[in-house]
């Protein structure tokens, strides 16, 4: 009689991904020139992170303000948007 096979282990797809907090603001994926690389009226912060890693090699994230301007920044380890400080 053959030994019983063990079921295959499934990979955990959420390893290494911090929980991104949805703060209600809209965000854009921007290229190195600061221009949006994804059209539309903005996406959630988590979606901006996902799109930024899949659309272009060097992408950033910017908050879409009410007047249509973009505030560049980054996603912190805590999963929150942090505006970039001017140099």
Report the chain's mean pLDDT, rounded to a whole number.
Answer: 77
Cite the beta strand spans of the chain per DSSP E: 26-30, 60-64, 70-75, 81-83
The least confident of 16-25, 38-47, 75-84 is 16-25
Mean pLDDT of 48-53: 79
The sheet that has 26-30: what strands, in order across it? 26-30, 60-64, 70-75, 81-83
Mean pLDDT of 56-81: 84
26-30 and 81-83: which strand pairing?
A: unpaired
Mean pLDDT of 44-71: 82
Band of the pLDDT at 8, cuts 50, 70, 90?
Answer: low
Mean pLDDT of 60-69: 88
The predicted model scores a pTM of: 0.58
The two structure tokens encoding residue 69: 């301007």
Non-local CB neighbours of 60 within 8 Å, separated by 6+ positions: 29, 30, 31, 32, 52, 72, 73, 74
């Amino acid at each position: 009689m053959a030994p019983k096979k063990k079921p295959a282990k499934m990979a955990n797809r959420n390893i290494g991904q911090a929980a991104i907090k949805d703060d209600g603001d809209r965000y854009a994926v921007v290229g190195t020139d600061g221009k949006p690389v994804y059209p539309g009226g903005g996406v959630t912060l988590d979606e901006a992170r996902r799109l930024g890693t899949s659309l272009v090699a060097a992408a950033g994230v910017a908050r879409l303000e009410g007047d249509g301007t973009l505030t560049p920044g980054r996603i912190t380890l805590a999963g929150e948007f942090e505006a970039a400080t001017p140099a």
